[in-house]
Amino acid sequence: MAQTFGMQKTLKAPIHCRGIGLHSGARIEMVLRPAAPDTGIRFYRGDLNTEIAADWRNAVESPLCTTLANAKGVSVGTVEHLMAALSGLEVDNTLIELDGPEVPVMDGSASPFVFLIECAGLTVQDAPRRVIRVLKPISVGTPGKSAALVPDDHFSVTFAIDFASSAIRRQELTLSPCPATFKHELSAARTFGFLDEVERMREAGLARGGSLENAVVVAGDRVLNEEGLRYVDEFVRHKMLDAIGDLYLAGAPLLGHFHGTRSGHSLNRQLLTALFADRSAWCYAGAEPTPEAAVA
């Protein structure tokens, strides 16, 4: 009997939020809407009346975040935390409407997006889920900074980081992120940065909306946020959250183990490129894939 992976899901109802763009500093309104089976995750820039598919082929080089752009050159940035929430809660189809260039950063984690999705509710659709099975090891990077996928019978993630600051040092974690695990063990981990980098980032047009309200800020060996950390190892948990969001740009859940060592958005994107470049490295499992639509 063929292995089954459940049915596709979408939101029961639209849900709205507003917030600040982490890098643009713009005030942005966002609506998550239900979508039909096999739609996938799609962003709609209402201010420019154009769609952008959440697809690895649309990912473009962008410092410090994951940015998608369509053939018209229209982009949407900082998609990784929302993509992680959609992946973690197993949302297959949704249309995300924005009136600006970036997904709102909210509190710097995926937790507000988990809350939104749970408030909207999920509905099971009349279409089987498909997944992408990793068939052989694929890796990119260097021995000290790498990202890899290896075959496994479920999705799991190992991540390791190593920083000179004693507030972080070396952290490593392995998780198999089912919805409950994602919500409780990963979703609240916030993005982080170093105080001495903030001025340089702002001069480069980045982090204009960043603050202690939406990021963990480290100065030397101290965490500046008065409330401290949400997890003892919040830093590696956030890097794992980022990777889960980036990997959901595959267009379907992965069956395989991801191992990241000091990886970031660029290496995660390169890993998906390398995976799909080798047709012997993956196959669809579950539902038969629908014919590929043009990447918008």
Q: Give the pLDDT band (50/70/90) at residue 288.
A: low
**pLDDT, the chain, mean:** 93
3-state secondary structure the chain: CCCCCCEEEEECCCEEEEEECCCCCCEEEEEEEECCCCCCEEEEECCCCEEEECCHHHEECCCCCCEEECCCCCEEECCHHHHHHHHHCCCCEEEEEECCCECCCCCCCCHHHHHHHHHHCEEEEEEECEEEEECCCEEEEECCEEEEEECCCCCEEEEEEECCCCCCCEEEEEECCCHHHHHHHHCCCCCEEEHHHHHHHHHCCCCCCCCCCCCEEEECCEECCCCCCCCCCHHHHHHHHHHHHHHHHHCCCEECEEEEECCCHHHHHHHHHHHHHCHHHEEEEECCCCCCCCCC
207 phi/psi in degrees, rounded to 5: 60, 25
Mean pLDDT of 251-262: 98
- In the set 81, 238, 257, 265, the catalytic residue is 265
Reading the block at residue 4, the tokens are 């089954």
Q: List beta partners, residue 34.
A: 94
Q: Angle 113-240-287 (CA atoms, 0-180°, nearest 5)?
A: 70
Give the pLDDT confidence of 7-66 residue by residue, as tens digits: 999 999 999 999 999 988 899 999 999 999 999 999 999 999 999 999 999 999 987 899
Report whether pLDDT(6) > 50. yes
Can you give the pLDDT at residue 97?
Answer: 98
Mean pLDDT of 256-281: 97
- Specify whether the CB–CB gap between 240 and 175 falls below 8 A: yes
Can you give the pLDDT at residue 179?
Answer: 97
Can you tell me the distance from the alpha carbon of 227 to that of 217, in angstroms, rounded to the nearest whole number?
A: 12
Can you give the pLDDT at residue 291?
Answer: 47
Residue reference for tokens 């948990």: 237
Give the pLDDT confidence of 49-104 residue by residue, as tens digits: 999 999 999 999 987 899 999 999 999 999 999 999 999 999 999 999 999 999 99
Can you give the pLDDT at residue 200?
Answer: 76
Answer yes or no: 238 catalytic: no
Can you give the pLDDT at residue 295?
Answer: 60
Reading the block at residue 209, the tokens are 């909306």
Can you tell me the distance from the alpha carbon of 24 to that of 75, in angstroms, rounded to the nearest whole number?
A: 13
Q: Nearest to residue 211, comparing CAs of 189, 229, 195, 227?
A: 195
Residues 6+ apart with CB under 8 A from 251: 40, 54, 55, 56, 132
Can you give the pLDDT at residue 201?
Answer: 75
